[in-house]
Amino acid sequence: MATRIKKVLQDKNVATCITVQGWIRTRRDTGSFSFLEVNDGSCLANLQVLAGEKLANYSEEINKLSAGCSVVVTGTLQESPAKGQDVELQADSVQVLGWADPETYPLQKKRHSLEFLRSISHLRPRTNALGAVTRVRSRLSFAVQQFFHTHDFTQIHTPVITTSDCEGAGEMFQVRATGETTDKPFFGLQAGLTVSGQLQAEVYALALGQVYTFGPTFRAENSNTSRHLAEFWMIEPEMAFCDLSCNIEIATDLLKYVLQDVLDNCQEDLKLFDAFIEKGLVEKLKNVVTTDFVHISYTEAVAQLSKVSETFEYAVEWGIDLQSEHERYLTEKLYKCPVIVTDYPSSIKPFYMRVSDDGKTVAAMDILVPGIGEIVGGSQREERLDVLTQRMTDAGIDLKEYDWYLDLRRYGTVPHAGFGLGFERLVQFATGMSNIREVIPFPRTPGSAPC
Ligand code: 4AD
Ligand code: MG
């Protein structure tokens, strides 16, 4: 059985015989030895392998190994006399599984730009940076699940294909069966890919109390920015018997929990990001975990932004939707920490948000973080049948199609709330990656869907 390199480097069981398998990162020759740097993706570090000229295939194969070749190495682990690593593997055999022609293999030793790596999304996970992003993403996903399970939430799987446009923003991709005609849609109604699992999560929250869904979400918004994808993953908890402040508390706890988890479990990868991607990243994450988030109302945010209005492309006044530049000013310049903005004007928010007593605002909350802007969007939901019906009618929504949603208010309605955390934006925040295309394996953006 082969041992994963991460375990080899953790345990450092010198004098034991082990087998590892992986890909060559570099080879350098000195005298009668080749030093092979082998990586198997289990961790950032490579294992140094010493392959001597006495090995049977030394001149025919080992001496010709180059970046990208796959190998199986068996040998004895020993203390390394040189700086740079504690242990190294003295090879008894090096079997070559696959060659990688150095003339054509795109990943050579030099540092490649992230833009170039995007053009080879099938090979980029083999680099240090993208391998590290992939491990941190996986750990964050695990930590999210762990948070909800330790807080007594039930996971539900909401549909990818749906006939309801939750956000009402007209950004749905349509779904049609081959040969389907407009008068006879496959699903009876015009269907699309989900923009949010929230409405279905509400159904289950009003039966099981605390639920969450974590799945792919699709938006046909034509915004080619560093924070938008056409396909992204969203974490959406929904809680019965919960108001806006309870919602804020859960969102804050979730963010702190998962970031603490990567601080504890992804130290090697975070160190790489701190050195090469975002200086001060680890300090930033530690601060977010330990300090209180600022909480202001939308009205206060507009007042603060109005004072510096001239620095913005879009003017600020009460009633506008905050643009990314405004959000980033609040979190990066004014408060220099995560900011929770609540109580937005009802006119700029979807129909399901609970109307406040002032009649002008809704019980909405966004969480803004430095470098990203909005990472969480949520609200208390409108639980009063009459108010909800009025809001939907005003929004031009066909009440018949949402009869099931209204039933939730007809039968045993309760105050409830939830939010959506953009998973890629979370991975961006944790890794310091400035472009969202780096934190999802195969980014889908307008004009691009590789692999
Ligand atoms: O604020 P949004 O649109 O909220 C909802 O969809 C609610 N139904 C969620 C809920 O209450 N259950 O989206 C939630 C989060 C945003 O804050 C952002 O982090 C992320 O999803 N997001 C995107 N991430 C990447 N690409 C996009 N195009 C995104 N649109 C939203
Ligand atoms: Mg939002």
Q: Is residue 10 part of a domain?
A: yes
Task: Verify that 86 and 166 share a domain, yes or no.
Answer: no
CA of 235 to the centre of ligand 1 (A): 9
Task: Verify that 328 and 204 share a domain, yes or no.
Answer: yes
Q: Which residue owns the Cα nearest ligand 1 atom 25?
A: 228
Q: Is residue 450 part of a domain?
A: no
CA of 221 to the centre of ligand 2 (A): 13
- Ligand 1 nearest-atom number relative to CA 420: 9
The string of DSSP codes covering 193-210 is E-S-SHHHHHHHHHHHSE
**Nearest CA-CA partner of 132 in 247, 268, 244, 258:** 268
Which of these three, 76, 109, 142, is where a domain ends? 109
Whether ligand 1 lies within 6 angstroms of the CB of 443 is answered as: no
The list of the chain residues with pLDDT below 50 reads: none
**Nearest CA-CA partner of 38 in 57, 25, 19:** 25
SS3 394: helix
Task: Verify that 84 and 156 share a domain, yes or no.
Answer: no
Q: Is residue 334 part of a domain?
A: yes
pLDDT at position 168: 83
**Nearest CA-CA partner of 272 in 153, 410, 136:** 136
Q: What is the DSSP letter of 126?
A: G
Task: Verify that 154 and 293 share a domain, yes or no.
Answer: yes
CA of 334 to the centre of ligand 1 (A): 24
Q: Which residue owns the Cα nearest ligand 1 atom 4?
A: 377
Whether ligand 1 lies within 6 angstroms of the CB of 422 is answered as: yes
Give the C-alpha separation, 339 to 251, whole Å.
12
Task: Verify that 49 and 135 share a domain, yes or no.
Answer: no
**For the chain, how many residues are written?**
451
Give the C-alpha separation, 322 to 327, whole Å.
6
- What number of other Cβ atoms are within 10 A of residue 39's Cβ? 21
- State the amino acid at position 282 in one-letter form: V
Q: What is the CATH number of the domain that holds 66?
A: 2.40.50.140
pLDDT at position 285: 98
Range of 283's domain?
124-438
Whether ligand 1 lies within 6 angstroms of the CB of 305 is answered as: no
- Measured from the alpha carbon of residue 376, the closest ligand is 1
Half-sphere exposure of 233 (CA within 13 A, CB side): 22
Task: Verify that 128 and 98 share a domain, yes or no.
Answer: no
For Cα atoms 147, 408, 396, give the angle at the middle one, nearest 5 degrees: 105
H or E, element range at 306:
helix 298-306
Q: Is residue 17 part of a domain?
A: yes
Whether ligand 1 lies within 6 angstroms of the CB of 437 is answered as: no
pLDDT at position 110: 82
pLDDT at position 167: 85
Q: What is the CATH number of the domain that holds 158?
A: 3.30.930.10
Whether ligand 1 lies within 6 angstroms of the CB of 229 is answered as: yes
Which of these three, 74, 109, 144, is where a domain ends? 109
Q: Is residue 167 part of a domain?
A: yes
Task: Verify that 24 and 137 share a domain, yes or no.
Answer: no
Task: Verify that 101 and 23 share a domain, yes or no.
Answer: yes
H or E, element range at 380:
strand 373-380
CA of 200 to the centre of ligand 2 (A): 18
Whether ligand 1 lies within 6 angstroms of the CB of 236 is answered as: yes
CA of 33 to the centre of ligand 2 (A): 58
Sign of the dihedral through C-alpha 99, 103, 109, 114: negative
* Contact yes or no for 147/251 (Cβ under 8 A): no
CA of 245 to the centre of ligand 1 (A): 19
Task: Verify that 132 and 39 share a domain, yes or no.
Answer: no
Task: Verify that 81 and 166 share a domain, yes or no.
Answer: no
Whether ligand 1 lies within 6 angstroms of the CB of 424 is answered as: yes
User: What tokens were used for 174?
Assistant: 């349509």
Q: Is residue 118 part of a domain?
A: no
CA 301: distance to chain centroid?
27
User: What tokens were used for 168?
Assistant: 């009402």
User: What tokens were used for 185?
Assistant: 């849609």
Q: Is residue 285 part of a domain?
A: yes
For a mutational test of ligand 1's pocket, the pick from 425, 429, 436, 440, i.e. the residue with the most ligand atoms closer than 8 A to its C-beta, is 425
Which of these three, 64, 81, 109, is where a domain ends? 109
CA of 396 to the centre of ligand 1 (A): 22
- Measured from the alpha carbon of residue 322, the closest ligand is 2
Task: Verify that 103 and 128 share a domain, yes or no.
Answer: no
Task: Verify that 216 and 88 share a domain, yes or no.
Answer: no
CA of 258 to the centre of ligand 1 (A): 18
* Contact yes or no for 67/100 (Cβ under 8 A): yes
Number of domains the chain contains = 2
Q: Is residue 87 part of a domain?
A: yes
